[in-house]
Amino acid sequence: MDAITLDLSQYALSKGIVLLDKTSAARALPAPLTTRPTKFPRAAYDAAIALQRPFNELYKDIACSTAFLDDIMNDLKTLDHFTGTLYNLYLRTARDPVQPLSLGVFRSDYMLDSNDNYIKQVEFNTISVSFAGLSTLVPSLHAYLGKKYQMHSYRSVPDNAAVQTIADGLYAAHQQLALKDSVILFITQENETNVFDQRAIESYLIEQYNVRSIRLHFSKVLECTRVDPQSSVLYVADQPVSVVYFRAGYDPKEYTSDAHWRARELLERSYAIKCPSIITQLAGTKKVQQVLATPGVLEKFVDQNTAHQLRRSFVDLYPLDTSSHGLKAREIALNDPMHYVLKPQREGGGNNIYSNDIPAFLKSIPESEWSSYILMKLIDTETHEATIVRDTKVFKGDTISELGIYGCILWNQQTSETFYNTGAGWLLRTKAADSNEGGVAAGFGSIDAPELI
């Protein structure tokens, strides 16, 4: 192990830039990290920051537009079992709503298009956005290594308010509900390795606002919570819950029995503010992203000027149905797929099908299922040389980067009134140029920082 790798690993361990070791709940490993920040155009970064609040508002309006989502979900629910079950659960709970307030903690992910040096949206995430906690610590790591090895001063790395953005949003919802002696409930995955990222938000809430949090595995919800039959207040450990913050519940693998669906329904029917509600989670499906890219659709939600700004960040997106656009996409997917990616309605890394793998994949599934996927043109982004350290193993070579911007919005689902809307804080993920996926926790990318130029 060379000196820089050793220093990076031990600095990360000392400062908490770590993931939980899968073999032990008492051991941590350094997160995958770059050794120095990556140059990124300041104008493109500023554009991403400026778009976050309008995107927050757009997805809030989508969540409030039941007719718009009904049209999409009625087609999708028979093609994708998980999405269909979520949608049917939403329909059941929406008949008798208990809590009109809804909180969105979002992240919009972009890559830099080398053709116009502008950001293009990869996806908009509406549930369990991660790495706010770890990404805020990476600039100090880069500064330490830069000074020690006289590489750079990195003065143009922007401040990162990602943890504050999420914690402030949770606190805004907590305050709006004003439920005495209440706690925020973190719903987590059983084998979560990204624990310390979540702990940073918990710590901020207690240190800045004296708001306590309780963590609970999704599989333990029915066992460890109850809902008061009169008030619908949710209790965990005999303490009322103001906000249910989902860091789980987005992967079909988490719903292994009917008990998991009953747990999700119990939470949805409670008085606690959900982050996100089921309908907000559904607003973040890839199909919604594809429909928004259809000419004229954005204008149903925003004015022409805002539509122009948002649309500039879009890439070509197609359905794979039997419409004229869908038939065109099928022809591309089967005969000329090199510059495209096939996306299902899934969050988390490792689900997409890329380029020349697309035809064989489509032929391996029934044609009736093709409509549950969307076809997206790959973003033509420039490569840059970087050094990535993962598990003390060093990769040095051509890489590409993806910039995410965090945002929070609190609204009334029944009236569509917005109470709080903010966008700040960033995540830069860097991966080998020949690696398709970018998820850090899923084992594909690394956490980086932008050096604005």
Is 120 part of any known ligand binding site? no
128 annotated ligand-binding residue:
yes
> Is 350 annotated among the ligand-binding residues?
yes
Active site residue 311: no
Known catalytic residue: 347? yes
Active site residue 191: no
204 is in an annotated binding site: no
Q: How far apart are CA 254 and CA 289, in angstroms?
A: 24
Query: Is 254 flagged in the annotation as binding?
Result: no
Q: Does the annotation list 193 as a binding residue?
A: yes
Cα separation, 314 vs 292, in Å, equals: 9
Is 363 annotated as ligand-binding? no
Q: Beta strand pairing status for 374-377 and 340-343?
A: antiparallel
Q: Point out the catalytic residue in the list 36, 429, 438, 445.
A: 429
- Annotated catalytic residue: which of 9, 56, 102, 125? 125
Longest CA–CA span in the chain (Å) reads 65
111 among the known binding-site residues?
no
Among candidate residues 123, 202, 254, 451, the one labeled active-site is 123
417 labeled part of a ligand binding site: no
Name the active-site residue from 130, 219, 277, 371. 130
Cβ-proximal residues to 78 (8 Å cutoff; 6+ apart), any chain: 84
Does the annotation count 343 as an active-site position?
A: yes
Residue 241, Cβ density class (10 Å: 0-12 exposed, 13-18 middle, ≥19 buried) = buried
- 53 is an annotated ligand-binding site residue: no
Is 431 annotated as contributing to ligand binding? yes
Report whether 300 belongs to an annotated binding site. no
| Angle, CA of 377, 439 and 115, to the nearest 5° | 35
Residue 73 marked ligand-binding: no
| 421 among known catalytic residues | no
List the catalytic residue out of 53, 348, 355, 390: 348
Q: For residue 254, indicate whether it is catalytic.
A: no
Catalytic residue among 202, 254, 347, 451: 347
Cα separation, 199 vs 132, in Å, equals 10
Distance from C-alpha of 315 to C-alpha of 12, rounded to nearest angstrom: 36
Question: Measured between alpha carbons, how far is 216 from 208 in angstroms, rounded to an integer?
Answer: 22
Whether 435 is a known active-site residue: answer no
Q: Does the annotation flag 243 for ligand binding?
A: no
Assess contact for 242 and 174: CB atoms under 8 A.
yes
Is residue 328 part of the annotated active site? The answer reads no
Neighbouring C-alpha atoms within 13 Å toward the C-beta of 293: 23
- H/E stretch holding 258: helix 258-268
Contact of 277 with 100, CB cutoff 8 Å: no
Q: What 8-state DSSP symbol labels residue 168?
A: H
Task: Give every CB contact of residue 334 below 8 A, 6+ residues apart in sequence.
Answer: 358, 359, 362
Q: Which residue has the tokens 């906000």?
A: 243
Q: Per the annotation, does 198 bind a ligand? A: yes
Spot the catalytic one: 36, 107, 215, 330.
107
Question: Is 379 a known ligand-binding residue?
Answer: yes
Does 190 count as an annotated binding residue?
no
Determine if residue 354 is labeled as part of a ligand binding site.
Answer: yes
Q: How many residues does the chain have?
A: 453
Q: Is 344 marked within a binding site?
A: yes
Which residues lie closer than 8 Å to 109 by C-beta, 6 or more apart? 121, 122, 123, 124, 125, 402, 403, 404
Q: Is 246 helix (H, G, I), strand (E, B) or coil?
A: strand
Question: Are the C-beta atoms of 192 and 251 separated by less than 8 Å?
Answer: no
Is residue 286 flagged as an active site residue? yes
- Of 146, 343, 421, 446, which one is the catalytic site residue? 343
Is 88 labeled as ligand-binding? no
Instruction: State the virtual CA torsion across 205, 211, 216, 222 in degrees, nearest 10.
Output: -150
Closest CA to 65 of 357, 255, 343, 282: 282
Q: Is 440 annotated as a binding residue?
A: yes
Check the annotation: does 172 bind a ligand.
Answer: no
Known binding residue 437? Answer is yes
State yes or no: 129 annotated in a binding site: yes
Q: Which of 274, 286, 287, 330 is catalytic?
A: 286
Q: Is 349 annotated as a binding residue?
A: yes
Written as six digits, the tokens of 30 are: 């350094």
**Residue ranges for the binding site for Mg(2+)?**
123, 125, 347
**Residue ranges for the binding site for substrate?**
107, 127-130, 192-194, 198, 247-250, 429, 440-441
What amino acid positions are annotated as catalytic residues? 107, 123, 125, 130, 286, 343, 347-348, 429
**Residue ranges for the binding site?**
107, 123, 125, 127-130, 192-194, 198, 247-250, 286, 343-352, 354, 376-379, 402, 429, 431, 437, 440-441
**Residue ranges for the binding site for ATP?**
123, 286, 343-352, 354, 376-379, 402, 431, 437
